[in-house]
Each structure stands twice: as structure tokens, then as C-alpha cells.
Amino acid sequence: MILMNDQFITRGEAHIDIEDRGYQFGDGIYEVVRVYDGKPFRFDDHLIRFERSAKELSLSLPLSSEEIKLKITQLIEMNNLQNGIVYFQTTRGVATRNHAFPTDSTSVLTAYTKEMNRPYEKLQKGIKIVTIEDIRWLRCDIKSLNLLGNIMAKQYAVDHQAYEAVQIRDNIVTEGSSSNFFIVKDGKILTHPANNFILKGITRLVIEKIADKIGIPFVEKEFNLKQVYQADEAFVSSTTMEIMPINQINDKTITNSPGSITKALQEEFEKLIK
Ligand code: PDD
């Protein structure tokens, strides 16, 4: 089953109008929530971010956060999802094509579940990343359906036998195509400040809390590629990638990956999802 507004229907029953603004303009927002053992992880944080994205785009949600939470929890149970994700999005709905916000459209919420294993092997061995210019717009803090810059970056990674592409804007390393990026230097975790140039990840938030708990400084500070090459450790984070060590950056191999701080974060993360 899937959720469409407040109705549970089969995927075949759902239809999207050709003038849905999400379909025509990418005029909408989304979230991806991890489900571990049937339980959504950090659901409230995702809902807060979803509401914020909606507000930034003057998009009214068809259901309240409480109702979305209830319906999606029911969807997870209905589909008997144990380990996987819930994807949900809201578009501004159907209106005659015109760039400006319509005054008479009703926003459309859809949600579906998908089974997905945790990326165990990559969490242990680490991944290769490549770097690429950040060509995205200047409101990367909004989790919008407009993902062309992100998908072009990810394709660049695939074309270069890498798992993720980390983006650089004006010499400053921002974030991955679908993840936040971190380096560890002299016992401190460094990551780009949560401003309009990155998405403020929920996993990033979890990492910040873990770092605080285990006494590792979490520093939000800009850094460049040279500093990345000089770092002791590097990792990316996301709902689906969790805390994923990096073992190669472009042509440079990082020995001893995952490093001790990345490992410590991973261990604490494990405790939270159990
Ligand atoms: N991506 N930055 C970008 C650009 C992202 O798309 C994501 C998440 C993150 C990490 O956010 P979080 O920890 O809340 O997942 C950072 C999701 C998973 C996706 O698009 O599939």
C-alpha cells in the first residue's frame, strides 16, 4: 500500500496529474526516514525539517505533522516494513501551468515504504569519493524535489567509480550529492556550517549529539580541499548511508580507514538504532 493524502491505496490506484507542479516544476519537498526493526528513526526531526521546507516555500501541507506521523506509522505497519525507508513528499498540487504560485491548488502528499538493508560492507570498509564543483542553487537548506545538481554530481561519482561526489563551492567543501561531509583533524570533527549552502542532515544532528556525549569537539567551520587531503579521517552521513567512512578521495588513498573517531561515532550510532 501507499499513502496519498489521507488515503491508503495500492500503487496502481495512484495517479499523478500531468500538471502536478511537482511533476512540471519540481515544486515540492520530500523526506527520507530510516526504519529499523519496524521503528522510524528520528521521525520527529524529519517532520520538523519537512515543515520548515514547506514554510520556506510558502507551501501548505495537506495534513498536520501529527497526522502525517500517524498515517505513515500505519503505513509502515500495514506494509510490515521491518528494515528500510519511508519516502514522503508534498507537491504544491495541480494547477494550470504558470510559474507563480497558484492560489487555488491543493497540495498532494504521497508516501511509500521500501525495504532496504543497511550498507554493512561499506560501513566497515569505507567508500571512495570524488570532488566536483557545487553547481546547485543557493537554497540547499530546503529539501526540495529539484535535485538536478545533486543527480548530476552523483552520476559523476558513478562515472568515476566512486560512491559519492563531494561538492566544492568557491573553494569551500560543502556536502555530498546526498550526504553531509565531515573531516577529522587533531581530534576534532569539522563540517560545513548549517547555512543555505547545505542541507542540515538529521544524521548530522545525531552525530553532533554523539560527539557531545563522547567528548569530541564538533566544529562547524568552512574548509577547503587542501585541508581535506591533510585530514586524519573523513566520512559522510545520511539517513541511508549512516556514518560512512571514506577510504579514498579522488586519487588519494586514506590508510587506516575507518579512523578511530569515525569508529567511535559508528559504535555510538549502533546503540541508538538498537
Ligand atoms: N539525502 N545533504 C543532501 C544534499 C541530502 O540529500 C541528504 C539526504 C543529506 C543528509 O541528510 P539526512 O541525514 O537527513 O538524511 C545531506 C536523502 C537520504 C536522499 O535524498 O535520499
**Residue to substitute in 178, 235, 242, 272 for testing ligand 1 pocket (most ligand atoms within 8 angstroms of CB):** 178
Q: Looking at the structure, tell me whether residues 106 and 169 fall in a common domain.
A: no
Number of structural domains (the chain) is 2
Which of 198, 240, 247, 189 has the alpha carbon at shortest distance from 218? 189
Q: State yes or no: pLDDT of 242 exceeds 90.
A: yes
Say what the pLDDT of residue 158 is.
98
Coil vs helix vs strand at 192: coil
Residue 182: exposed, middle, or buried by beta-carbon count in 10 A (0-12, 13-18, 19+)?
buried
Coil vs helix vs strand at 209: helix
Q: Looking at the structure, tell me whether residues 135 and 105 fall in a common domain.
A: no
- Banded model confidence at residue 211, pLDDT cuts 50, 70, 90: very high
Nearest CA to ligand 1 atom 19: 178
Q: Looking at the structure, tell me whether residues 103 and 138 fall in a common domain.
A: no
Q: Looking at the structure, tell me whether residues 137 and 68 fall in a common domain.
A: no
Q: Looking at the structure, tell me whether residues 9 and 49 fall in a common domain.
A: yes
Say what the pLDDT of residue 9 is.
98
Nearest CA to ligand 1 atom 11: 201
Say what the pLDDT of residue 4 is.
98
Domain hosting residue 76, numbered range: 2-115
Q: State yes or no: pLDDT of 261 exceeds 90.
A: yes
What's 185's domain CATH number? 3.20.10.10
Q: Looking at the structure, tell me whether residues 53 and 107 fall in a common domain.
A: yes
Say what the pLDDT of residue 227 is.
98
Look at residues 115, 146, 180 and tell me which one is the last residue of a structural domain. Answer: 115
Q: Looking at the structure, tell me whether residues 19 and 128 fall in a common domain.
A: no
Look at residues 115, 146, 172 and tell me which one is the last residue of a structural domain. Answer: 115
Cell numbers given for 196: 543555505
Q: State yes or no: pLDDT of 255 exceeds 90.
A: no
Look at residues 115, 146, 163 and tell me which one is the last residue of a structural domain. Answer: 115
pLDDT, averaged across the chain: 98
In the reported structure, the alpha carbon of residue 175 is separated from the centroid of ligand 1 by a whole-number distance in angstroms of 10
Q: Looking at the structure, tell me whether residues 101 and 138 fall in a common domain.
A: no
Ligand 1 first shell, C-beta below 6 A: 32, 150, 175, 178-180, 199, 201-204, 237-240
Coil vs helix vs strand at 180: strand
Q: State yes or no: pLDDT of 70 exceeds 90.
A: yes
In the reported structure, the alpha carbon of residue 238 is separated from the centroid of ligand 1 by a whole-number distance in angstroms of 5
User: Mean pLDDT, to the nearest integer, of 51-66?
Assistant: 98
Helical packing angle, 202-214 and 260-273, nearest 10°? 110
Say what the pLDDT of residue 221 is.
98
In the reported structure, the alpha carbon of residue 34 is separated from the centroid of ligand 1 by a whole-number distance in angstroms of 11
pLDDT in tens, 184-205: 999 999 999 999 999 999 999 9
Q: Looking at the structure, tell me whether residues 99 and 135 fall in a common domain.
A: no
What span, in angstroms and rounded, lies between the C-alpha atoms of 40 and 44?
Answer: 9
pLDDT in tens, 103-140: 999 999 999 999 999 999 999 999 999 999 999 999 99
**ω before 258 within 30° of 0 (cis)?**
yes
